[in-house]
């Protein structure tokens, strides 16, 4: 195909995050399909030979652990999922290491938890780790650390993780590989569905019926999670290509395969993107109307004077939702106080608190640098 027929966003990308799902890597019985994995690695190696840096976000650890543990299907309980991941993660990375070595490439395993990237010091370390690996020519193979993640602190699915990693490493492109060759306006099995070649914004998805279709036997996601991941990435200025794993080579080359999601806004502060999309709130702070305006419209820090109520049990450093008088979460931030400390501070100015309780109480409840808006309010 001529250069004129290629997608310029893809051709120009110099750092690409590739997310591949369990169904694209494993057999129906749950074991790793070596042929599929080698085909993916061959496509990644071609991309690397063109001078493009690649970060691979790979599902498949739990699925790979099913067969060795003689589990007929993905377990529902968290403990057995973690056991399968503990067995399968080593098998998965071993296969990637062998396949990449055939092309003279080195694999580097990176296991992430939400805590690794929402707390400031951990986030900076994660960013430095990726930069160092890429500078050394390594292909990072990323997965959630399923063996230690709990229901309350996990990314939820690797499509979301792929979008967040793409922003963390300042990628130029995110490619979501699945068992479906693109986004359709209805269920592809209906026979009357049409492929949507490009999405330029939310209006292009009006009327599109997106369900949780996918290979539920080994994975957790579906088309809904992929569209959500595309929304996160494009909202942070990163274009997204969604297609099937067998079309990876064509997608990496910029050919018109699958669905291209175009960016809908510019880059956002990376850590705040993680805070908004990768955390579950440990509690909530209820704000009066003036505090909502200060936080949302003026992007100010949250002070005790504007808080009318506290819900939940949390400690300093935990994520909490900031809720308006109607009960709608408008922002999420990392709180600077324990829940037990706050009731005595509500409605009081920081100057008053400093005078009566000491200078340690002059700090913000949530600093604006650790606060991400969740909704756009109309004035």
Q: Are residues 263 and 307 in the same domain?
A: no
pLDDT (tens digit, 9 = 90+) per residue, 15-37?
Answer: 999 999 888 887 766 678 899 99
Indicate whether 206 and 77 sit together in one domain. yes
Domain presence at residue 235: yes
How many other C-beta atoms can be found within 10 angstroms of the C-beta atom of residue 348? 16
Helices (H), 278-332: 289-296
What pLDDT, on a 0 to 100 scale, did the predictor assign at position 207?
Answer: 61
Q: For the domain that residue 28 is a member of, what is the CATH number?
A: 3.40.1160.10
- Look at residues 223, 252, 274 and tell me which one is the last residue of a structural domain: 274
Q: What is the structure's pLDDT at 379?
A: 38
Residues 237 and 130 in one domain: yes
From edge to edge, which strands make up the β-sheet containing 371-373?
Answer: 307-312, 283-287, 319-323, 329-334, 371-373
Handedness of CA 72, 73, 76, 77 (dihedral sign): positive
Give how far Cα 212 sits from Cα of 1, 193, 216, 221, 352, Å. Answer: 34, 16, 9, 7, 52
- Total structural domains in the chain? 2
pLDDT at 376 over 60: no
**CATH code at position 357:** 2.30.130.10
- Give residue-wise pLDDT tens across range 76-109: 888 888 888 889 899 999 999 999 999 999 999 9
Task: For residue 39, give every residue at least 6 positions away whose Cβ sits within 8 Å of its Cβ, in sequence order, or none.
Answer: 245, 246, 248
167 in Cβ contact with 230 (< 8 Å): no
Please give the pLDDT value at position 187: 77
CA distance 260 to 258: 7
Mean pLDDT of the 228-254 span = 93
Cα(first)–Cα(last) distance of the chain, in Å? 50
Which residue range(s) make up the domain with 337? Answer: 281-373
CA separation for the pair 151, 154 (Å, rounded): 6
> Sorting pLDDT into bands at 50, 70 and 90, what band is 261?
very high
Let me know if residue 379 belongs to a domain.
no
pLDDT at 215: 45
Average pLDDT over residues 264-285: 78
Confirm whether 303 is domain-assigned: yes
| 149 and 298, same domain (yes or no) | no
> 190 or 140: which carries more pLDDT confidence?
140
Cα distances from 227 to residues 160, 192, 298, in angstroms, run 10, 20, 31
Give the mean pLDDT of the chain: 85
* Strand spans (E) along 60-189: 107-112, 139-144, 173-178
Domain for residue 201, yes or no?
yes
Spell out the residues 6+ positions from residue 282 whose beta carbon is closer than 8 angstroms to its own: 312, 313, 314, 315, 318, 319, 320
- Provide CB contacts within 8 A for 132, sequence distance 6+: none
Mean pLDDT of 128-149: 88
> 78 and 204 share a domain?
yes
Higher pLDDT, 267 or 315: 315
Convert the pLDDT of each residue in 150-170 to its tens digit.
544 455 578 888 998 998 899
Look at residue 262 and tell me if it is in a domain: yes
Identify the pLDDT of residue 274.
Answer: 75
Same domain, 118 and 263: yes
The reply to whether 196 and 289 lie within a common domain is: no
Q: Which of 223, 258, 274 is the last residue of a domain?
A: 274
- Which tokens in the block code for residue 356? 């009566």
Last residue of a domain, one of 214, 241, 274: 274
Instruction: Note the pTM of the prediction, 2 decimals.
Output: 0.79
- Residues 77 and 36 grouped into a single domain: yes
Collapsed DSSP state (helix, strand, coil) of residue 321? strand
Same domain, 122 and 176: yes
Q: Has residue 1 been placed in a domain?
A: no
Backbone angles phi, psi at 356, to 5 degrees: -95, -30
Higher local confidence (pLDDT), 210 or 372 = 372
Q: Hey, how many other C-beta atoms are within 10 angstroms of the C-beta on 299?
A: 12
Q: Which long-range contacts (CB under 8 A, 24 or more apart) does 96-105 make?
A: 96/37, 96/41, 96/56, 96/58, 96/141, 99/37, 99/38, 99/41, 100/41, 100/44, 100/45, 100/139, 102/41, 103/41, 103/42, 103/45, 103/48, 105/45, 105/48, 105/137, 105/139
What is the model's pLDDT at position 78?
A: 82
**What integer pLDDT is reported at residue 224 of this predicted model?**
85
Helix or strand (DSSP H, E) at 132: helix 120-135
Q: Do 304 and 204 lie in a common domain?
A: no
Query: Please, what is the angle between helix 270-277 and helix 120-135, to 10°?
Result: 120
Selected residue with higher pLDDT from 354 and 221: 354
Q: What 3-state class would DSSP assign to 143?
A: strand
Residues 193 and 53 in one domain: yes
C-beta separation of 313 from 320 below 8 A: no
Domain assignment present for residue 40? The answer is: yes
Which residue has tokens 């160092």? Answer: 132
320 and 269 within one domain? no
Beta strands in 85-219 (DSSP E): 107-112, 139-144, 173-178, 198-199
pLDDT (0 to 100) of residue 10: 94
Rounded to whole angstroms, the Cα distance separating 192 from 204 reads 18
**Is 333 part of a structural domain of the chain?**
yes
Q: What is the mean pLDDT of residues 193-219?
A: 68
Look at residue 175 in the predicted model and tell me its pLDDT.
97
């Amino acid at each position: 195909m001529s250069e004129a027929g290629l997608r310029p966003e893809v051709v120009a990308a110099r750092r690409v995050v590739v997310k591949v799902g369990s169904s694209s890597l494993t057999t129906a019985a749950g074991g790793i399909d070596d042929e599929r994995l080698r085909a993916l690695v061959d496509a990644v190696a071609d991309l690397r030979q063109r001078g493009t840096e690649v970060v691979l976000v790979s599902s498949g650890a739990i699925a790979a652990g099913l067969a060795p543990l003689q589990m007929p299907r993905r377990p529902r309980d968290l403990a057995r999922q973690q056991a399968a991941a503990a067995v399968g993660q080593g098998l998965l990375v071993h296969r990637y290491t062998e396949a990449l070595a055939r092309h003279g490439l080195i694999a580097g395993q990176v296991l992430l938890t939400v805590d690794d990237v929402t707390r400031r010091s951990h986030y900076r370390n994660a960013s430095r780790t990726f930069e160092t690996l890429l500078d050394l020519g390594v292909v990072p193979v990323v997965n959630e650390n399923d063996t230690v993640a709990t229901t309350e602190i996990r990314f939820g699915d690797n499509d979301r993780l792929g979008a967040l990693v793409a922003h963390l490493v300042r990628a130029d492109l995110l490619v979501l590989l699945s068992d479906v060759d693109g986004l359709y306006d209805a269920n592809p099995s209906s026979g009357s569905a049409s492929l949507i070649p490009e999405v330029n914004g939310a209006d292009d998805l009006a009327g599109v019926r997106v369900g949780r279709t996918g290979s539920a036997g080994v994975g957790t996601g579906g088309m809904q999670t992929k569209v959500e991941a595309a929304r996160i990435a494009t909202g942070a200025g990163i274009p997204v290509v969604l297609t099937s794993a067998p079309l990876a080579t064509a997608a990496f080359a910029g050919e018109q395969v699958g669905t291209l999601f175009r960016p809908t806004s510019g880059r956002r502060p990376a850590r705040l993107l993680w805070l908004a999309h990768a955390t579950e709130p440990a509690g909530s702070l209820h704000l009066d109307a003036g505090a909502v305006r200060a936080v949302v419209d003026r992007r100010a820090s949250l002070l005790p004077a504007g808080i009318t109520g506290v819900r939940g049990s949390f400690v300093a450093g935990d994520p909490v939702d900031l809720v308006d008088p109607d009960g709608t979460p408008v922002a999420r931030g990392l709180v600077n106080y324990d829940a037990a400390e706050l009731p005595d501070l509500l409605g009081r100015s920081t100057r008053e608190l400093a005078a009566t309780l000491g200078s340690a109480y002059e700090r913000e409840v949530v600093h604006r640098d650790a606060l991400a808006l969740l909704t756009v309010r109309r004035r």
